[in-house]
Structure 1
Amino acid sequence: MTIVQYLHVLRRQWLVVLLLAALGTGAAYAYTDRQVRTYSAGTEMFVGITGEKQDDVSQMSQGGTFVQQRIKSYADVVTSPAVLERVSSAYGVPVSAGQISVTAPPDTVLLDITVTDTDAERAALIANGLADQFPVYVAQLETLPQQTSSPVRLTVVERATPNKTPVSPRVPLNLALGLLAGLGLGIGAAVLRDAMNTAVTGVSDIEKLTGAIPLGVVPYDAGTTKQPLVDTDEHGARAEAFRTLRTNLQFADVDSPPRVIVVTSPLPNEGKSTSACNLALTLALGGARVVLVDGDLRKPTVGRYLGISSAAGLTTVLAGRHDLRDVVTVYGRDTLAVLPSGPTPPNPSELLGSQQMADLLATLATHYDVVVVDAPPLLPVTDAAVLAAAADGAVLVLRHGRTRKEDANRALQALDAVNAKLLGSVLNFAPKKKRRGGYDGYGYGYGYGNAPKAAAGTPAVRPAQVVLPDAENSPA
């Protein structure tokens, strides 16, 4: 993955990253809060030599070398039990070697003693106690029987003072480490979650699958369950999205504009029927002569969406029981011509793949500017592929967050297998994303075979006043 792709992943999964970063920081805070506060106090001692006055530079150099050789041993002796017992007895405080740190800076004759304790005052007391008792102990060690004094002198350079700021736990550092750990886990979880997410979740996914951005991105609106059609709110966001789809569809093939358009989806419940209805309505409201054909002979829903009876329609025309002009009706104020599905037949695939169906589509294309066919899903049955092969192209409806990328790819392969042309895709049910000047990233989906009844106030339906061929020339 490139850096740009990682940034896109983090943008999609920002909530996961934020949550784990907060959890990491919270865990670090909880851990830090439970730790015992410790304080430190330090003292510094200078190690020199005594004796006769040393005027000779060589004697002073030899004395310095002697001290540097000894000082490493003194650093170990500071924490010896004998010294600790002296401090504990003299000051009445418990002292352990684990709370004392002694360092001897290189090329110096200094001893730095640092004491840590849970009480700042006690830490300073122990450090100063060591500074007082250790020179006495060293003098005893360094004094030979024939000598009256030690040749080594330890002088306190700096005495310890209480420091009320704890040295442990280090709150800022722990919180920073917790935040970094949480961010690392969040980024890893975001990448893993995105890799495991097989659903279509954005325009970029569709572009990777189809090689082109979708023709339309239709907004989700909770109110669509009551009124899925856009003609009731021509100024709404969904209506605008379908107008965008209409415009983009006109440029799908400028040399040969599609006249017969099949609308389908990979699987049920992805909104292909409402997309077909709204596309047909939008084209008709734009001034085109449009006929909407309910080609989903297994679970027809167009009639129920538009409030049109499906007792007679496509199947009865193909069976020769009715003339085409007798079953085509209009929706609204002569806005849209509709050819309902008719009774459900026992052999939908054979009917839709017949020469009669091809002739019917050709007939409709000669009398209307655009023929929109609502077809079944591509993967469960072959009906949509058969229809797409006889049409000028197909529009594939993909539902945001539900259509799997694998299913979308299989649907594209099904169209390719019959040499059907893909006019473009529609991203359905995408979430709203507020942006300056409007909204971006819309989506809308409606269930296959789960259409609601026509809402109250649906425009009345009357016989279509359409120009069709005479009965003897119409497809039987």
Structure 2
Amino acid sequence: MELRDYIRGLRRHWLAILLMTLVGAGTGYGWTLLQTPVYTAYSSGYIASTQSSDVGISTIGDNLARGRVPSYLEIAGWRAVAQNAIDTLELQTTPEAIVNRVEVTNPANTVILRISATGSTPESARALAEAWIDAMITEIDDIEGDGSEGSAPVTVIPADIASLPSSPSFPNVQTAVIVGAILGFGFGVAFALIRTVSDRRIRTAEDVESKTGIAVVGTIPLVPGLTDEQRLVGLSEHHGGKGENFAVAEALRSLRTNLQFMDVDHPPRTIVVTSPLPGDGKSTIACNLALTLAAAGTAVVLVDGDMRRSMVAKTMGLPGGAGLSDVLAGRAELTDVLQRTPKSVNLIVLAAGSVPPNPSEVLGSERMRTLIAELARHATVIIDAPPLLPVTDGAVLTHQADGALVVTSVGKTTHDLLDKALDTLRKARGRALGVVLNKAPLRGVDASPYSYEYRREYVSNSKEAAEPVPAADRVTVPADLSDLAEADAGARRGRRGPTPT
């Protein structure tokens, strides 16, 4: 994976990172509410010798006081000092416990002792700081003097009376929230990176092409809120492409162009549209591709080769009834079951027909091969085939066609499923014309970096859509394949211009 893949993963999971950051900050704040507040009070003492008016003696006493600083720092941590403070304050605790609540320090190059004492209340902290200095003075008098107050030649003089702390020193709410947010952010980033590394779902065309070696010939965007009728872009030949399905129509035109230039000398005439698993939108893509090709003036026959779960007739708004299986079984003539659709004059639909007990054998029969070849002589044949992994029907049809378009869902189909589907085609000696990425987001992290900004002039105007054909008019129209050839030739002459006389 490259750096841009990790960045894309962080952008894709930005909501999870944000939520984990907020959870971390909230956890830090909640932790502070569960803690017992601790207050810290500070007091100071000055180490000095017995005052004397003689300058020389005062100088000697000052030097003596400086020499006593390290010793008094040690005395400040004695159990005897702690016991004196306990007796003074009448506390119910032990010297070992109260020593941990007091810290005595000496600022560099000074004879000052700084005492910091903690307590559960501001008053107890201040009282302990003041009592500790008094206890030190008492202990120093016992050691260096005769035991009476102020008898030691060098003593500690209270210099700064402890003030009442206004806020607790522990816990620090701001620090706890910041640390919690940082930890939450770190967990969020780790979660996003792990999900990115372990995510096997198809996201971009570059991933598909680099891992499979098969070209992505189309990326069909997902436009939420469209009905099944609006997802059929064949209506675009009646309007200027300003409707809600403009993005889909443009993507399908790009797919049509890629198919036309795929093999200039021998362009595919029989194209199977399949997918690894159900639910990838292959039937909708097949119908839309047929309508898009027909909109360009090409004669197209759309064949529903999914006999197990036929969707073409329903999607195109045509009656089911007899169809492909009946023709192959000899129960109906081809011209009797071909249906024209009001959505395009250049498109003819062959429904799936009744469900046979052995669809794979029927689709792999010599009659099916002959039928496809006959249709391909006069028109481009688009076959909606079953998914490749659950059944073998799609692979059988691909073997008889020029190739297959494998439809995958962005963010749903995994690379493993796609690899298995392509391997199924290879084993059946079928050709994969390319991969179509379906349901790709128009915007966001997973949007194609090569796609332009689609116009989204959503116009809910019924005048731009084709008028629905009444059910009474949707009749089966017998059609001769020679009519398809004549229509195809006429369309080609129309594109070349009038024949010179």
TM-score by structure 2 length?
0.77
2:138–2:149 Cα contact (<8 Å) kept = no
Query: Which residue does the alignment assign to 1:463?
Result: 477
SS in 2 for 1:155: strand
Query: Which residue does the alignment assign to 1:169?
Result: 171
Paired amino acid for 2:43? T
1:296–1:374 Cα contact (<8 Å) kept = yes
Distance 2:129 2:31 in 1: 29
- 1:45-98 deviations in whole A, cap 9, x for unaligned? 2324448757499967973674144223222148723430454169xxx99434
1:39 equivalenced with 2:39 (yes/no): yes
- CA 1:400–1:79: 2 relative to 1, 3 Å: farther
Matches within 5 A, 1:51-450: 55=56, 63=64, 66-77=67-78, 80-85=81-86, 87-88=88-89, 96-105=98-107, 108-144=110-146, 149-194=151-196, 197-201=199-203, 203=205, 206-207=208-209, 209-211=211-213, 212-213=215-216, 215-225=218-228, 228-232=231-235, 235-237=243-245, 238-254=248-264, 256-332=266-342, 333-368=344-379, 370-431=380-441, 433=443, 437-438=453-454
Paired amino acid for 2:364? G
2:274–2:384 Cα contact (<8 Å) kept = yes
SS in 1 for 2:176: helix
Distance 1:223 1:457 in 2: 22
2:40–2:125 Cα contact (<8 Å) kept = yes
Q: Any unmatched runs of 5+ in structure 2?
A: 457-467, 485-501
- CA 1:110–1:437: 2 relative to 1, 3 Å: same
- 1:306-328 deviations in whole A, cap 9, x for unaligned? 23344443334434554444433
2:398–2:430 Cα contact (<8 Å) kept = yes
- 1:384-415 deviations in whole A, cap 9, x for unaligned? 11221222221111134443432222101111
1:100–1:115 Cα contact (<8 Å) kept = yes
Paired amino acid for 2:81? S
Paired amino acid for 1:217? I
SS in 2 for 1:224: coil
Distance 1:34 1:407 in 2: 50
- CA 1:255–1:13: 2 relative to 1, 3 Å: farther
Distance 1:88 1:174 in 2: 33
Q: Any unmatched runs of 5+ in structure 1?
A: 441-454, 471-476
SS in 2 for 1:296: coil
Quote the offset at 1:186 in angstroms: 2.1
- CA 1:138–1:171: 2 relative to 1, 3 Å: same
- CA 1:99–1:147: 2 relative to 1, 3 Å: closer
- 1:119-177 deviations in whole A, cap 9, x for unaligned? 33443343234334532442232115899931212233433223313211111111111
TM-score by structure 1 length?
0.81
- CA 1:64–1:399: 2 relative to 1, 3 Å: same
- CA 1:227–1:60: 2 relative to 1, 3 Å: same
- 1:244-264 deviations in whole A, cap 9, x for unaligned? 332333344445432221100
SS in 2 for 1:215: strand
Q: Tell me whether 123-132 or 28-37 shows the greater mean CA deviation.
A: 123-132
Distance 1:148 1:273 in 2: 102
SS in 2 for 1:433: coil
SS in 1 for 2:345: coil
Query: Which residue does the alignment assign to 1:25?
Result: 25
Q: Alignment RMSD, CA only?
A: 3.7
Q: Tell me whether 143-152 or 329-338 shows the greater mean CA deviation.
A: 143-152
Quote the offset at 1:215 in angstroms: 1.0
Distance 2:373 2:149 in 1: 126
SS in 2 for 1:130: helix
SS in 2 for 1:334: strand
Distance 1:318 1:266 in 2: 26
Distance 1:118 1:98 in 2: 14
Distance 1:206 1:28 in 2: 43
1:75–1:104 Cα contact (<8 Å) kept = no
1:86–1:133 Cα contact (<8 Å) kept = no
2:39–2:169 Cα contact (<8 Å) kept = yes
- CA 1:271–1:257: 2 relative to 1, 3 Å: same
Instruction: Give the aligned length.
Output: 452
Q: Tell me whether 262-271 or 74-83 shows the greater mean CA deviation.
A: 74-83
1:291–1:336 Cα contact (<8 Å) kept = yes
Query: Which residue does the alignment assign to 2:12?
Result: 12
SS in 1 for 2:7: helix
Quote the offset at 1:117 in angstroms: 2.3
SS in 1 for 2:43: strand
Q: Tell me whether 353-362 or 275-284 shows the greater mean CA deviation.
A: 353-362
- CA 1:160–1:78: 2 relative to 1, 3 Å: farther
1:200–1:405 Cα contact (<8 Å) kept = yes
- 1:283-323 deviations in whole A, cap 9, x for unaligned? 11122221111122333221222233444433344345544
Distance 1:147 1:331 in 2: 115
Paired amino acid for 2:118? T
Quote the offset at 1:182 in angstroms: 1.4
- CA 1:169–1:420: 2 relative to 1, 3 Å: same
Distance 2:80 2:166 in 1: 24
SS in 1 for 2:76: helix
Distance 2:3 2:398 in 1: 39
Distance 1:230 1:120 in 2: 76
